[in-house]
């Protein structure tokens, strides 16, 4: 008698017919990036929306150039420019309702500004002045995330919590192609799909993770194809086509709000400037490549569409540029003012209840600052005493000299 023949032994039964958990076909992205400008689809777009997008793009381009200049002038510690990616930045902010949340990365200050945050406050982190310069709750904009992709799980958590509470809120999380190589990206998409969280992931595929090209990061047909593995729709869009990005993101936000779950959107764009002011992009890419992408500039694409259809004239172009210059002048003037900083703010807004380690560090810093202030006061007192003594000596010497010089001409020699 074999083991399987004994009474009570486990007897396997034929498995049920295998079925896919999710039908993959509807999740697959298009074979080519979706475009609107220069196609028949552009005629369906509200002209007022196109003009708004254009004004925001012009504003955004000037913001980028001004922030880069401030870095060269020493007014910013670092600035990761989004020049060439303005269509993604602007469309992401405009696709959201006021009640929704934006989760930006360090390169997305333009999206933060477009969302309504003061430009100086948006640049505070990059200036090195504070953890973040704006109130996230007031603007519904999470702090700029410097670590790659760590903001994505936060976006999923907020969106899932909002749904559990019955709040009509969608989270839009922005990340670069380099961030898709991080574990946080996988975890965020997996949780979002399983929970059907109302969140939209916007991947700005600008071609490089600092100096690493996309081909050395993934062998997938596109980053949008990664969505299928998690069970969510993937969308592929021309990231320099502001109208197309806005349409795709608006659809994804609506889909999430209606309970359809998350969407992964890959916007194919290009980082025209270097990674940051500390990077030399000529070491890993050629001028011809950059020039080719400049011919597909998001501002020029939309301007050609509008002027070609008679929706924008020279006066409209001039007005947009003048408004952008006014913004840049104000930003430049305010950034040239030296802020008054309190070192104790280092420990503010880190935890709701400071940890023992933070309290200890806070008291150490407080003691160091007090000791420095006391030393400076003593030095100042000593300096004042020395100055007073020097003045008295000089006065006495002057009096003595005057007495000698005033002696009779025939006096002692």
- List the end-to-end C-alpha distance of the chain, in Å, as a whole number: 141
Cα distance between residue 220 and residue 225, in whole Å: 7
Strands 263-268 and 199-205: parallel
Q: Angle at Cα 187 formed by Cα 181 and Cα 192, nearest 5°?
A: 120
* Cα separations in angstroms, 259 against 170, 174, 193, 229, 296: 10, 21, 12, 20, 36
Nearest to 215 by CA among 244, 183, 241, 177: 177
Cα distance between residue 315 and residue 363, in whole Å: 59
Cα distance between residue 279 and residue 80, in whole Å: 10
Which residues partner with 199 through β-bridges?
Answer: 171
* Cα separations in angstroms, 203 against 222, 231, 292, 397: 11, 17, 22, 78
Tell me the catalytic residues.
Answer: 271, 275, 284
């Amino acid at each position: 008698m074999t083991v399987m023949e004994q009474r009570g032994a486990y007897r396997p039964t034929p498995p049920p017919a295998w079925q896919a958990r999710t039908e993959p076909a509807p999740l697959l992205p298009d074979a080519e990036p979706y475009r609107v400008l220069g196609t028949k689809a552009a005629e369906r777009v509200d002209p007022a929306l196109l003009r708004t997008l254009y004004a925001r793009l012009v504003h955004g381009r000037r913001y980028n150039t001004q922030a880069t200049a401030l870095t060269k002038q020493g007014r910013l510690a670092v600035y990761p420019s989004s020049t060439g990616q303005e269509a993604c930045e602007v469309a992401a902010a405009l696709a959201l309702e006021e009640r929704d949340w934006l989760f930006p990365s360090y390169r997305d200050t333009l999206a933060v500004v477009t969302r309504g945050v003061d430009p100086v406050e948006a640049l505070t982190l990059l200036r090195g002045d504070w953890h973040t310069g704006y109130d996230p709750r007031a603007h519904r904009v999470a702090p700029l995330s410097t670590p790659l992709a760590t903001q994505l799980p936060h976006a999923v958590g907020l969106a899932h919590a909002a749904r559990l509470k019955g709040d009509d809120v969608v989270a839009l999380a922005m990340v670069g192609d380099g961030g898709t190589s991080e574990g946080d990206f996988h975890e965020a998409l997996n949780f979002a799909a399983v929970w059907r969280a109302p969140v939209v992931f916007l991947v700005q595929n600008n071609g490089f993770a600092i100096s690493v090209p996309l081909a050395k990061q993934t062998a997938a047909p596109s980053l949008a194809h990664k969505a299928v593995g998690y069970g969510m729709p993937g969308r592929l869009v021309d990231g320099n086509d502001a109208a197309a990005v806005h349409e795709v993101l608006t659809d994804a936000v609506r889909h999430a709000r209606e309970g359809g779950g998350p969407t992964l959107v890959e916007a194919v764009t290009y980082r025209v400037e270097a990674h940051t002011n500390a990077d030399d992009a000529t070491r890993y890419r050629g001028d011809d490549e950059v020039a080719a992408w400049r011919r597909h500039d998001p501002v020029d694409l939309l301007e050609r569409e509008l002027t070609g259809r008679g929706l924008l004239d020279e006066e409209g172009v001039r007005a947009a540029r003048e408004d952008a210059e006014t913004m840049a002048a104000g930003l430049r003037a305010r950034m040239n003012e030296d802020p008054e900083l309190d070192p104790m703010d280092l420990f503010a807004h880190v935890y709701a209840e400071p940890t023992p380690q933070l309290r200890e560090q806070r008291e150490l810093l407080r003691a160091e600052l007090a000791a420095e202030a006391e030393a400076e006061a003593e030095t100042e007192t000593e300096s004042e005493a020395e100055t007073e003594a020097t003045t008295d000596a000089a006065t006495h010497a002057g009096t003595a000299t005057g007495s000698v010089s005033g002696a009779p001409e025939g006096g002692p020699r």
